[in-house]
Amino acid sequence: MRIHHPEWFKITLPHDKIFYSIKTGIKRSGLHTVCEEAGCPNRIRCFSLKRVTFLILGKVCTRNCLYCGVTKGTPDIVDKNEPVRIAGFVRDMKLDYLVITSVTRDDLADKGAGQFAAVIAEVKKERPGCRIEVLTPDFSGDMSLLKTVLSAKPFVFAHNIEVVKEFYPRLRPGGRYSLSLELLAQAKEMNAITKSGIMIGLGETINQIKATLKDLKHAHVDVITIGQYLPPGKEAPAVRKYYTPQEFNSLKVKAQSMGFRQVCAGPLVRSSYCQVEVTE
Ligand code: SF4
């Protein structure tokens, strides 16, 4: 059954030359992007702006978050050439900003932290000056793995809280709300620019959203994204509420008044939708 979203989701943008070169470049490279794998509605806009979010460490996740469309099961073998291949893409496409994320790899001894660090290092070598944002899993709370990633000096460290605390047992059973906050707080302790994101529309209350923002502020998060949850497939939980652009704006004003340094909120906002403008 086709899902009909409210009219503010309808966007018409021209497909330009840059869009096509990025799209065909991704296909040719054989690399995975969240943009394509998740069928993100922002691809025309982002590719035209030369924004891409690479998904590293395979396409199969070891966790089972209900709101996420990534395949779950036995994960892929780690591609040791992935860092070099991504760096080549960034160099050839002349990207100036890059987001790297991964599936959760609880099966790996280092939970994938080394691959994040290797991608950062290779991109820096091939395209010095390209700002790299990493969006990582929680590394099961192993702060030494966080250090591994931050030692490679990404521009931004992001880890999404994803949903309000009350939904963790049902929607994010492999995660822990307090552990995600701790990871973000520790990243700040290690002097990173930090970022987190929340999806709304799953049935949470406004007070629960505000409590989440308060907890993220308490963890000294710099940048926050708030976007509309859209089900990735028929099995995923249904949308309980479509927030209007006005309601997103009210949440943005609220978050700004709480002191976040950058707030990106709107129906189509995804964690990697806005480039981080904050500098140290
Ligand atoms: S919002 Fe993120 S995932 Fe979606 S197209 Fe843009 S960069 Fe890709």
- Asked if 131 and 194 sit in the same domain, the reply is no
CA of 52 to the centre of ligand 1 (A): 6
- Asked if 35 and 53 sit in the same domain, the reply is yes
Instruction: Please indicate, yes or no, if residue 188 is contained in any of the structural domains.
Output: yes
Eight-state DSSP code of residue 33: B
Ligand 1 pocket test, pick from 51, 102, 131, 156 with the greatest ligand atom count within 8 Å of Cβ, gives 51
Instruction: Please indicate, yes or no, if residue 261 is contained in any of the structural domains.
Output: yes
Work out how many domains the chain is built from and give that number: 2
Instruction: Please indicate, yes or no, if residue 212 is contained in any of the structural domains.
Output: yes
Domain ranges, residue 116: 13-158
- Asked if 17 and 49 sit in the same domain, the reply is yes
pLDDT in tens, 94-135: 999 999 999 989 899 999 999 999 999 999 999 999 999 999
pLDDT in tens, 201-238: 999 999 999 999 999 999 999 999 999 999 988 889 99
Q: What does the alpha-carbon distance between residue 126 and residue 84 come to, in Å, rounded to a whole number? A: 9
Q: Is 270 in the pocket of ligand 1 (CB under 6 A)?
A: yes
Which protein residue's CA is at the shortest distance from atom 3 of ligand 1?
A: 35
pLDDT average, residue stretch 82-87: 98
Query: From the CB of residue 97, how many other CB atoms can be counted at a distance below 10 Å?
Result: 18
Which protein residue's CA is at the shortest distance from atom 5 of ligand 1?
A: 43
- Per-residue model confidence (pLDDT) at position 14: 66
- Asked if 38 and 94 sit in the same domain, the reply is yes
- Asked if 67 and 182 sit in the same domain, the reply is no
- Per-residue model confidence (pLDDT) at position 49: 94
Contacts of 242 (CB under 8 A, 6+ apart): 5, 6, 201, 228, 267
What's the pLDDT band for 149 if we cut at 50, 70, 90? very high
Q: Is 168 in the pocket of ligand 1 (CB under 6 A)?
A: no
Instruction: Please indicate, yes or no, if residue 4 is contained in any of the structural domains.
Output: no
Q: Is 32 in the pocket of ligand 1 (CB under 6 A)?
A: no
Ligand 1 pocket test, pick from 52, 98, 132 with the greatest ligand atom count within 8 Å of Cβ, gives 52
Nearest to 106 by CA among 55, 174, 183: 174
CA of 40 to the centre of ligand 1 (A): 6
Angle between helix 177-189 and 143-151 (nearest 10): 40
Q: Is 46 in the pocket of ligand 1 (CB under 6 A)?
A: yes
Q: Is 119 in the pocket of ligand 1 (CB under 6 A)?
A: no
**Averaged confidence pLDDT in the chain:** 94
- Asked if 132 and 241 sit in the same domain, the reply is no
Q: What does the alpha-carbon distance between residue 223 and residue 276 come to, in Å, rounded to a whole number? A: 8
